Chain A
Amino acid sequence: MKLDAKIPQGPLAEKWSKHKFNLKLVNPANKRKYTVIVVGTGLAGSSAAASLAQLGYNVKAFCFQDSPRRAHSIAAQGGINGAKNYQNDGDSVYRLFYDTIKGGDYRSREGNVYRLAEVSVNIIDQCVAQGVPFAREYGGLLDNRSFGGSQVSRTFYARGQTGQQLLLGAYSSLNRQINLGKVKMFTRHEMMDVVTIDGEAKGIVTRDLISGAIETHSAHAVLLCTGGYGNVFYLSTNAMGCNVTAAWKAHKRGAYFANPCFTQIHPTCIPVTGEHQSKLTLMSESLRNDGRVWAPKTKELAEKIRKGELKASELKEDDRDYFLERKYPAFGNLVPRDVASRNAKEIVDEGRGVGTSGIAVYLDFAESISRLGEDAVRAKYGNLFDMYKQITDENPYKQPMRIYPAVHYTMGGLWVDYNLQTTVKGLYCLGEANFSEHGANRLGASALMQGLADGYFVIPYTLGDYLATIGPKEIEANHPAFEETKKNVVDRINKLLSLKGNKTVSEYHRELGHIMWEYCGMARTEEGLIKAKGLIRELKEDFWKNAIVTGINEEFNQNLENAGRVADFIELGELMVDDALDRKESCGGHFRLESQTPEGEALRDDDNYAYVAAWQYNGDNQPESLHKEELVFENVKLTQRSYK
């Protein structure tokens, strides 16, 4: 199949307006004859469900948590970008577009990214109208902060809880539509598969997580808004339930998976303390506005600190290496995430890491506290400092924070065209679950923006075009495809429940995580990736022989839920490794040791790799086929990214 991204022709700034005009409309009286399934109630799903219901469609929404408000978006901390230029500091839609393309190391589509920047301004308006309490200045107008990879202040925030406030805003809009009877909400339901009829998505199969009932739901279109797959690494900043199951099942039904190896490793997370650790905690990027990243200048000093013979605060200015400020004077501590992470890793590899494990660098607020006062710092970051203290038992007002990179976000995801449609007709993908706007590295505060752009301002237009084409005739809920798909789901559950080996599902998950982090993490080599592939295959075989899954299907069974998710992660892991092997260049978060500049920065190979890698599933244990969507750049010039 030839991939057609359906990016409209014409000048960049006119593409979206023109496209909107060209899309077919569904007549208002006909809208109520359509049903749309929305899986996921994070920013992408809640905003899509509310907006589509408002247009008049009947929406069925699903999430696996006990409430739509608990989707992982709730945990986002730092902020959301919007090209409002309220600060008069030179921001514009074009600059946000440019920063995003560059930040993504030129591996995203110009058309999509421009549209994202364009609607970013509407998002802020929408949220304020819903009652989202963004931070304000004394004059009563909205305040902004800066995020990595940009030299303007365009990030809107609500203390360190921006995701929570945005999601509660979207949740309130969703609630309004539930109240009006336009959305039917299914909580504690997990999507287990997509139902396709003649290659078009017509419904899903779900499991009621309390009763175990396997149900089918039919609809005219299905939207997957199921979030990212960072938990393939076991340890990540994602919530425990984040999974790839919905996207993976769609992949197996024909949706191509794009750029699976593009993973974002976030530079500022609280370091790992032990084997028992179940997740990692992010310290928001916004902290790099006022915190300075450093490490001891020499190995010897680092050694003393690790042994507890010397305290960080006792180290003389001259003995500190503010390595980001030193190497990147223009952006300093605000370089993009991939660059900051790689530099921290380098310091640790050189033996200059701190903390008892030696796997950390410092993020220091001493200078800001003396300049602004402790109260001002507390007002901006109080909840993050509290969180740090709670976890580490150390006071970051007195001692610098210890931080280290951790898996945070996945740029890869289901391939979608400009309309957010996957390669399966009628199946759409929004938010972190799709691969679109962030290329090989996402800029901070842009995921929330993308999720809400997709849900509030893109899908309400593009979905109508498809629905108008297929017409409002009823879906045959009795079509045999529903029973067949359901049977597959039941068979697989039974297979999982028959596993009575000697190793827990979490043990497999942890092992998979080790393999991925070691060989497909911050630095990748051909040799390592080949090794990883073998290890994952062995792990998969072993899982289906020796895992233990307790209990039965007809009950609340968290062990069974987890088993299904981990089994899917193992399969995804192999595809990520294949993708990383194929891409012999370095770009953004994908760093192949074989491809670096003399200064050790990621070296792209635009002649051979300026494409989106979209993978097609060919059956169990079969190699997947690679389809390339060439990226066309008409407006920006591809250059070696520099933040010096």
Chain B
Amino acid sequence: MNLTLKVWRQKNAKAKGELVSYQADHVSPDMSFLEMLDVVNEGLIKKGDDPIHFDHDCREGICGSCSLHINGRPHGPKQGITTCQLHMRSFNDKDTIVIEPWRAEGFPVIKDLSTDRSAFDRIQVAGGFISVNTGGAPDANVIPIPKVVADEAFNSATCIGCGACVAACKNASAMLFVSAKVSQLALLPQGQPERYRRVQAMVAQMDAEGFGSCTNTGACEAECPKEISITNIARMNRDYFTAKLLKSEE
């Protein structure tokens, strides 16, 4: 197939960006979306031009590096997958495809399609852990955990930290991402001792990073490649208010 791409090009964080058109010809439907961009980049490099920069690594939907806004949707038109898992068979010959970076105050553009998502790490640093030292852990089977609970914690834990939820949200809210971690640890017995301290610390950091508030539009859940459920946000809100109550009782 032959395609027209409109790609956001921006030299660096300070430069002004713009959409630039490229022609991608002889694209095979078996190619992945990123392989299609590789081919375009090979052509640019051959001409001595700067290739289109984008983040990627695993190319199998698990590292959370890739992060393209494709035709107005984070990770493109298909449900439940990341950009690197998208194949060109999802497009038609002569299509025009608009490719942009994540757009959110919390994720400033670094160059072209690459953004700075370090705010996510800082939120995790604020409290996304169980304070357990290396060594001295009790036998792994000492505390049985009902399968349904373990499975539910696992579902929350599959978040890949890509940021699509933020990019999809009109308020650029990071609630889905934050609540996924809060839920995982709040569901497990090991996470109980720090449960309320954790949620407060993570929410405070989230607010400090400039992410917007949640108005329950559900766009995050719809666009999340790992189909993280919005129930996590409800769980987090519950814990957050309980934490406040506990604090006022102290």
Give the B-binding residues of A (Cβ under 8 A).
47, 50-51, 54, 65-70, 72, 74-75, 84, 86, 122, 124-131, 133-142, 158-159, 161, 164-165, 168, 171-173, 175-176, 178-179, 185, 187, 210, 239-241, 273-274, 276-279, 281, 386-387, 390-391, 393, 456-457, 460, 500, 502, 504-507, 548, 550-551, 555-556, 558-559
**Which residues of A have CB within 8 Å of B53?**
556, 558
Q: Mark B122-151, 1 if CB is under 8 A from A, else 0.
A: 001111111111110111110011110011
Q: Is the CB of A66 within 8 A of B116?
A: yes
Q: Most A CB atoms within 10 A — which of B45, B51, B154, B188? A: B45
Q: Is the CB of A68 within 8 A of B121?
A: yes
CA distance A506 to B42 in the complex (A): 8
Kindly identify which residue among B45, B87, B89, B158 contacts A548, using a CB–CB cutoff of 8 Å.
Answer: B45
The stretch of B58-66, B164-172, B212-220 that contacts the partner chain: B58-66
Closest CB in chain A relative to B31 CB, distance in Å: 5
CA distance A438 to B151 in the complex (A): 32
Q: Does B6 contact A (CB under 8 A)?
A: no
CA distance A158 to B157 in the complex (A): 10
Q: Mark B29-67, 1 if CB is under 8 A from A, else 0.
A: 011101100110010011011110101111111111100
How many chain B residues have a CB neighbour from A under 8 Å?
Answer: 76
Q: Does B210 contact A (CB under 8 A)?
A: no
Q: Most A CB atoms within 10 A — which of B30, B125, B158, B191? A: B125
**Which residues of A have CB within 8 Å of B160?**
74, 164
Complex: chain B residue closest to A64, CB-CB: B57
Q: Is the CB of A391 within 8 A of B124?
A: no
Contact A175/B129 with A54-B134, A164-B158 known, Cβ cut-off 8 Å: yes
Q: Is the CB of A74 within 8 A of B58?
A: yes
**Which residues of B have CB within 8 Å of A66?**
55, 65, 116-118
Q: Does B8 contact A (CB under 8 A)?
A: no
Complex: chain A residue closest to B52, CB-CB: A558
Q: Mark B91-134, 1 if CB is under 8 A from A, else 0.
A: 00000000000000000001100101110110011111111111
Contact A550/B62 with A131-B185, A138-B147, A456-B134 known, Cβ cut-off 8 Å: no
Contact A239/B57 with A131-B190, A556-B114 known, Cβ cut-off 8 Å: yes
Q: Is the CB of B28 within 8 A of A276?
A: yes
**Which residues of A have CB within 8 Å of B121?**
67-69, 175, 185, 187
Complex: chain B residue closest to A502, CB-CB: B46
Contact A241/B45 with A67-B161, A124-B140 known, Cβ cut-off 8 Å: no
**Which residues of A have CB within 8 Å of B61?**
387
Listed by A's residue number, 5 A-B pairs whose Cβ atoms lie within 8 Å are: A122-B137, A133-B151, A136-B147, A164-B160, A391-B85
CA distance A158 to B46 in the complex (A): 44
Kindly identify which residue among A50, A72, A179, A277 contacts B134, using a CB–CB cutoff of 8 Å.
Answer: A50
Q: Is the CB of A178 within 8 A of B145?
A: no
Q: Does B153 contact A (CB under 8 A)?
A: yes
Q: Is the CB of A548 within 8 A of B46?
A: yes
Q: Is the CB of A277 within 8 A of B35?
A: yes
CA distance A34 to B80 in the complex (A): 46
Q: Is the CB of B35 within 8 A of A175?
A: no
Complex: chain B residue closest to A164, CB-CB: B62
Kindly identify which residue among A134, A173, A187, A460 contacts B118, using a CB–CB cutoff of 8 Å.
Answer: A187
**Which residues of A have CB within 8 Å of B59?**
239-240, 278-279
Closest CB in chain B relative to A22 CB, distance in Å: 19
Complex: chain A residue closest to B144, CB-CB: A140
**Which residues of B have CB within 8 Å of A65?**
57, 63, 65
Q: Is the CB of B64 within 8 A of A69?
A: yes
Closest CB in chain B relative to A228 CB, distance in Å: 14
Q: Is the CB of B157 within 8 A of A168?
A: yes
Q: Does B12 contact A (CB under 8 A)?
A: yes
CA distance A276 to B36 in the complex (A): 8
Q: Does B236 contact A (CB under 8 A)?
A: no
Q: Does B184 contact A (CB under 8 A)?
A: yes
Q: Does B228 contact A (CB under 8 A)?
A: no
Q: Does B176 contact A (CB under 8 A)?
A: no
Q: Most B CB atoms within 10 A — which of A70, A178, A274? A: A70
Given known contacts A136-B144, A165-B154, what 11 new A-B pairs fall within 8 Å (CB)? Answer: A51-B134, A75-B58, A84-B140, A125-B138, A131-B130, A133-B154, A136-B147, A274-B31, A278-B38, A387-B61, A505-B45
**Which residues of B have CB within 8 Å of A506?**
38, 42
Kindly identify which residue among A70, A135, A500 contacts B63, using a CB–CB cutoff of 8 Å.
Answer: A70
**Which residues of A have CB within 8 Å of B174?**
none
Complex: chain B residue closest to A128, CB-CB: B140
**Which residues of B have CB within 8 Å of A75?**
58, 60, 62-63
CA distance A638 to B87 in the complex (A): 49
Complex: chain A residue closest to B81, CB-CB: A390
Kindly identify which residue among A50, A127, A386, A550 contacts B51, using a CB–CB cutoff of 8 Å.
Answer: A550
Kindly identify which residue among A51, A161, A179, A555 contacts B158, using a CB–CB cutoff of 8 Å.
Answer: A161
Q: Is the CB of B31 within 8 A of A276?
A: yes
Closest CB in chain A relative to B134 CB, distance in Å: 4
CA distance A322 to B209 in the complex (A): 57
CA distance A139 to B150 in the complex (A): 11
3 nearest A-B pairs in the assembled complex, by CB-CB distance: A140-B144, A172-B129, A129-B137
